Copies of this chain bind each other. A is one copy, B any other.
Amino acid sequence: MLNPVTPEFLDALRAALPEGTLRAQKDGELDDPRGRHVGLAAIVAQPRSTDEVATIARLCHEAGVGIVPLGGGTGLVLGQVAHSGPAPVVISFERMTAVRAVYPTENAMVVEAGAILHDVQAAAEAVDRLFPLSLASEGSCRIGGNLATNAGGLNVLRYGNTRDLCLGLEVVMADGTIWHGLKRLRKDNTGYDLKNLMIGSEGTLGIITAATLRLFPRPTHEAAAIFVVDNPQGAIDLLALAQATVGEGISAFEMMSGVGLDFLTETLPDVRQPFGTNPDWSVLIDLGLSGESDPQEMLLALFEKAHAAELVSDGVISQNETQRQQFWSVREHIPVGNRNIGSISSHDISIPLSRIPDFIPEGIAKLQALGDVRINCFGHLGDGNLHYNVFPAKGRDRKDFDDIRGAVKKCVHDLTHAYDGSVSAEHGVGRLKVEDLERYQDPVKLAAMRSIKQALDPKGVLNPGAVLRAL
């Protein structure tokens, strides 16, 4: 059991840190972005250095006080929102935002955990490199949070998840010791993969304070297309054809449903949609090529092949960057449209690619048996990652569905599990999905996770209650 923060503990913490390191909680900074809970904080620490983080961790560890690391606060599963138990010390990374070093020759850079993702992208661009992690909250999320949650986003198909973009870490461990692991090597087989264990552990095994990130050459020519397909199977066949035709140049392959496009038409009429009638299923393909290749030409060739194979019935190809951004704007506004309509329940799932064409209609049928609902199924099809969100039928109020919300979620997650999928593809477990983890995760893996937590954080001070139930 953890201890509450006492006045004596606060005095000791204050005495050990430079003036101004501790402050009260700011209005709203610990609110769940989806409005379900508000996070507790006995105090917020805003350290300037790894050593200060280590001091805080050491004192909390000695006193048995919980620590919750805070990045941009954009996580969707309450990983940063400790809403029960003794109020913890929240460590905000708002002052640890430095880009410590950039190595363009090595395609690597070292950044502090508090760097905002957009600033990391910009620092890479400043040396003519690409840091490919890209997601809706990039203007406010911080790289430490992206690493802690192994964030996914729009470019996973080509560049991988956040863990694939990280070469090394600096981590403050539960007892306040510092692992200096900011290597910038592509190959290093000297012992267990502590880096990947920390990434995605959501602050429960260590506090990430800095990271070495991988950079990539910037594609020199980019273009996007939206192709209309008959159904999800058509989208998957198109993906295979695209991979065979244009190879590694596919940066993103996003599926959109007519339901989601209708939400845009209804609530965001200013978003320019490419087709007169919203197609039931369409795919956004983004190409980024190096050298002399012409992405428009390749997309046109792909369209012709796909049309000849009766995989696509209509399509548009961007002729310039403005058009490409317009296409992306459609995709990027889908979550906004969803919020405008108001979902009954939202799900971030992944399914083995070849089973998606069966999964989607089976899920829709099962859900419609529960009530009068619409399903907006969209997302990162190239990765098998669907956002499978359930809404009231047109004209109905989401409040009428409060009593079936639990059943809706269980229906989607049970089916996902039956299809060998994951009930959290990219958002993580946080505090929202602890029970899901207990229900669906392999029991031997779960036991191993508990042993590892016990080994690295025996007092359970690190982000208590996230991922695993608090001790």
The number of residues on chain A lying at the interface, defined by a beta carbon within 8 Å of a beta carbon of chain B, is 90
Q: Is the CB of A192 within 8 A of B186?
A: no
Contact of A189 among B157, B188, B200, B247 (CB under 8 A): B200
- Taking the closest CB of chain B, its distance from the CB of A159, in whole angstroms, is 10
A241 to chain B, nearest CB (A): 11
Interface residues of A in 152-188 (CB under 8 A from B): 152, 156-157, 160-161, 163-164, 173, 177-181, 183-188
Q: Does A354 contact B (CB under 8 A)?
A: yes
A200 touches B192 (CB 8 A): yes
The answer to whether B192 touches A201 (Cβ under 8 A) is yes
Cβ A190 vs Cβ B441 within 8 A: yes
Binds B, one of A257-265, A287-295, A319-327: A287-295
Cβ-closest chain B residue relative to A446 = B191
A197 within 8 A of partner (CB): yes
List, in ascending order, chain B residues with CB within 8 A of A183's CB.
420, 422
* Contact segment of A8-16, A222-230, A424-432: A424-432
Closest to A178 in B: B444
Knowing A106-B353, A106-B354, A245-B291 are in contact, say whether A193-B197 is a contact too (CB < 8 A).
yes
Contacts of A291 in B (CB 8 A): 244-247, 298
Nearest B residue to A248 by beta-carbon distance?
B248
Which one of B103, B152, B184, B249 lies within 8 Å of A187 (CB-CB)? B152
A442 on the interface (CB 8 Å rule)?
yes
Are B455 and A187 in touch, CB under 8 angstroms?
no
Indicate which residue in B177, B187, B245 contacts A384 across the interface (CB closer than 8 Å).
B187
Asked if A447 is at the interface (CB within 8 A of a chain B CB), the reply is yes
Which residues of the other chain, B, contact A354 by a CB distance below 8 angstroms?
103, 105-106
Q: Looking across the interface, which residue of chain B has its beta carbon closest to that of A453?
A: B192
Query: Which residue of chain B lies nearest to A182 when distances are taken between CB atoms in the complex?
Result: B420
Chain B residue, CB-CB nearest to A298: B291
Report the bound CA distance from A290 to B248 in whole Å.
8
Q: Do B189 and A424 touch across chains, with their CB atoms under 8 A apart?
A: yes
Q: Does A389 contact B (CB under 8 A)?
A: no
CB-nearest residue of chain B to A451: B455
Query: Which residues from B are CB-within-8-Å of A236?
Result: 105
